[in-house]
Chain A
Amino acid sequence: MVKIKSLADLQKLKADMQTKVDLREKGESAENLVQVKVAMATCGIASGAKQVMEFFMDELEKRNIEAVVTQTGCMGYCYAEPTIEVTLPNQDPVVFGYVDTKKADEIIEKYVKEGILVDGIIPVNYETIDDKNK
């Protein structure tokens, strides 16, 4: 791996990574990827997040949907674990709670394929440090 030796290196890497992440999130690339993040902290895993993540990986591939499935940390909604966040190209991310494999199937069929929201959305109820800038 290439070492980062200066601030300029770091900034370049950051810019590269941001474009990469942006491309993925905003779907400006040719593929228009769907992004699924699964909250995989200890508590999420304990309530079945691993199975849900595997389900998404397998099923999205089987159903020929180009998607990136990644793990992330705690989203804070302990009462609704497992929780996932789905970002469709050019759309704001949507968080779903109480996701078991049955719900995951519904999310793929309804939301990912047709853009129809399903029960169990968790509204964003916090500000980020970037909001606070404005």
Chain B
Amino acid sequence: MHLLVCGGTGCRASASDAIVGKLEKELEEKNLQDDVQVVMTGCFGFCEKGPIVKVLPDNTFYVQVKPDDAKSIVEEHVIKGRKVDKLLYRDPETSKEISDSKHMGFYKKQLRIALRNCGVINPESIDEAIARDAYAALAKVLGEMTPEQAIQEMINSGLRGRGGGGFPTGLKWKFAADNKADQKYVVCNADEGDPGAFMDRSILEGDPHSVIEAMAINGYCIGASKGLVYIRAEYPLAIERLKTAINHARDYGLLGENILGTNFSFDIEMRYGAGAFVCGEETALIHSMEGERGEPTFKPPFPAESGYLGKPTNVNNVETYANIPVIYLKGANWFNKIGTEKSKGTKVFALAGKINNVGLIEVPMGTTLREVIYEIGGGIKDGKKFKAVQTGGPSGGCLTEKHLDTPIDYDTLIASGSMMGSGGMIVMDEDDCMVSVARFYLDFTVEESCGKCSPCRIGNKRLYEQLDIICKGKGTLDDLDKLRNLSHVIKDTSLCGLGQTSPNPVLSTLDNFYHEYLEHVNDKKCRAGVCKDLMQYIIDNEQCVGCTACARVCPVGAISGERKGPHNIDQTICIKCGACIEKCKFSAISIQ
């Protein structure tokens, strides 16, 4: 028998260590230590009801366990085989006790559709993929559906583009199918560029066949015989595994001429990008594949009319493709029951930042930010206070406490001033300065702007400078108005999606954290202690014993004072590196 005690950070904070100790002690007293093992586990993802103890093999699930409950668990459950009723979870709707965690579907917030095979199959074995239904959807579509029917099925499923824009995938296919041409192309956009996002990489590294299969289906639907994967060269392992998978698929005849004995022929080639953010924009991506500069062009014409080499082209993102085989196998009606009214299915997020369980997660659309952060993510690191969550990368915005219970889907995120983006989700706590966060994203945009249109090239640079001035404590109220005006101009006049969304981090922080901007401008203060120019390191003369440790560690010699006498920091020399505060054993140095 095993007693599993949740050792996730949240449960640990509520004394799971003590529970382990008590359980072990009780078992020892009853001389059961050899028959029953107490094991500390990772997070169960049900932190609000923690600490959690699970009993194996019967799967009993105890919630909100206190160290003193160890006695009853051992005496009742372990020895007498009776479940401890008061510790069982009660279904909030029926208020019935649920004892077996196998029936606790409700605590499983995640549903893996796009990630169904990631971490399950060997990505370099096509046989293992086939055992898990790879290429069965392709066979079904080729054997049972006309391209029109297959497109209609995609429209019915309600799948929207997972790259960030959220355009209905079925409609996109229909446009490309409706344009007649001797040659058409299917392109997989694997140019994942948002800072902190790695959904697409994980899918390509974990389940490359799902993307290949979906591209072939896409080709059949729109009448294309050629597929291209545009992937950044910074993803060597993803490239290698995708190549292996393409070769295996060719060996089996699942790519190539007359696939599965039909008239349909399709093959895939790879194209490598040099890692320019703007190449995630579909027109820039296409130009980059053609060997041109990776710069966007005005739409229309959309790629569905004139794309790669001037031919009708359909571009979809990796995660979009990964969803597609399941939609055909289980049917559009299965898929469109998951999610919200206008956003169907699930979304993969790369959960990062000041959160306990950093990870790759997949949740049904409509899950709230609170569920993602506090249950799946296990809450904020070190018990600090939640401040904001950034979604949508450099094109998105920051959501705050008041958005925590908003269900996540394309439209609610836009209504809250952010966007879905490709799925980066960065959690920030009280130690993050929102002005600096905005400046960080603008720094990224300035670096990545292709420079073709002036609002983006010059405007973002000016935005960055303005933010920098504010962070350095030299901003005025006037600057805040300028920031807002300039942001709107850039949004309204930029050529492509990059410029049209790049001011979002500024606008959303201005909306949600205006008080922090005001503090920077009026009081010259940064409450998070991030903006170095607004801080001073001060030595408290009462506390300082004159050990000289700080003076010795100061790299610029800004600290002076007699041995055994109080020391002082010369603010004109201090570079605010923080070395002194780390060295001081007497807590005499503080930041003001």
A residues at B contact (CB < 8 Å) = 1-7, 9-11, 13-14, 17-18, 20-21, 37, 39, 41-43, 45, 70-80, 83, 85, 97, 116-129, 131-133
Contact = CB atoms under 8 A, between A and B. Distances in A.
B359 to A, nearest CB: 5
A121 B39 contact: yes
B59 to A, nearest CB: 10
B40 A119 contact: yes
B105 A131 contact: yes
30 contacts: A2-B252, A7-B140, A7-B260, A10-B130, A10-B260, A17-B131, A21-B128, A21-B131, A39-B119, A42-B237, A43-B198, A70-B125, A72-B123, A72-B206, A74-B119, A76-B359, A76-B360, A77-B42, A78-B359, A78-B360, A79-B358, A120-B40, A121-B4, A121-B42, A123-B42, A123-B45, A126-B362, A127-B105, A128-B116, A129-B326
A78 B358 contact: yes
B356 interface: yes
A79 B511 CA distance: 32
Q: Dominant SS at the A interface? A: mixed
Contact of B44 (A6, A39, A72, A123): A123
Given A73-B202, A74-B118, A125 B110 contact: yes
Contact of B143 (A1, A7, A39, A41): A7
Which of A42, A80, A117, A125 has the most B CB atoms < 10 Å from its CB? A125
Given A4-B260, A39-B119, A72-B119, A120 B136 contact: no
B305 interface: no
A129 B237 CA distance: 27
Contacts of A78: 358-360
B183 interface: no
Interface in B19-49: 37, 39-45
Contacts of A117: 2, 4, 37, 39, 56
A7 to B, nearest CB: 4
A129 B252 contact: no
Contact of B131 (A20, A41, A126, A127): A20
Given A78-B359, A117-B56, A119-B40, A126 B108 contact: yes
A127 B338 CA distance: 13
Nearest to A118: B39
A106 B214 CA distance: 42
A74 B112 CA distance: 13
Contacts of A79: 356-359
Contacts of B135: 4, 10
B253 A3 contact: yes
A88 to B, nearest CB: 13
B175 interface: no
A125 B109 contact: yes
B295 interface: no
A12 to B, nearest CB: 10
A54 to B, nearest CB: 16
A32 B519 CA distance: 67
Nearest to B143: A7
Nearest to A74: B202
Interface of B: 2, 4, 6-7, 37, 39-45, 54, 56, 105, 107-113, 115-125, 127-128, 130-131, 133, 135-136, 139-140, 142-143, 198, 201-203, 205-207, 235, 237-238, 251-254, 260-261, 326, 330, 334, 338, 356-362, 376
Nearest to B118: A73
B39 A119 contact: yes
A21 B131 CA distance: 8
Contacts of A124: 108
Nearest to A134: B105
Given A85-B119, A126-B110, A80 B130 contact: no
A128 B110 CA distance: 9
Contacts of B206: 41, 72-74
Given A42-B235, A121-B4, A123-B41, A73 B205 contact: yes
A41 B207 CA distance: 11
Which of B40, B119, B206, B254 is the most central at the interface, judged by chain A CB atoms within 10 Å of its CB? B119
A52 B75 CA distance: 39
A125 B45 contact: yes
A128 B112 contact: yes
Contacts of A77: 42, 357, 359
B119 A73 contact: yes
B42 A76 contact: no
A45 to B, nearest CB: 7
Contacts of B54: 123
Contacts of B143: 7
Contact of A41 (B130, B237, B330, B358): B237
Nearest to A41: B205
A79 B358 CA distance: 5
B261 A5 contact: yes
A76 B201 CA distance: 12
Contacts of A9: 260
Contacts of A71: 122-124
Contacts of A120: 40-42
Contacts of A132: 111, 334, 338
A3 B356 CA distance: 48
B261 A41 contact: no
Contacts of B207: 73
A100 to B, nearest CB: 15
Contacts of B362: 76, 126
Given A6-B260, A116-B37, A127-B112, A122 B122 contact: no
B256 to A, nearest CB: 8
A95 to B, nearest CB: 8
Given A10-B260, A132-B334, 19 more contacts: A9-B260, A10-B135, A11-B139, A17-B130, A17-B131, A20-B127, A42-B205, A72-B122, A73-B118, A73-B121, A76-B202, A117-B39, A120-B41, A121-B4, A123-B4, A125-B109, A126-B112, A129-B116, A133-B330
Chain A to chain B: the 10 pairs with minimum beta-carbon distance, closest first: A73-B206, A75-B119, A3-B253, A126-B110, A125-B45, A17-B131, A122-B42, A74-B202, A76-B360, A121-B41
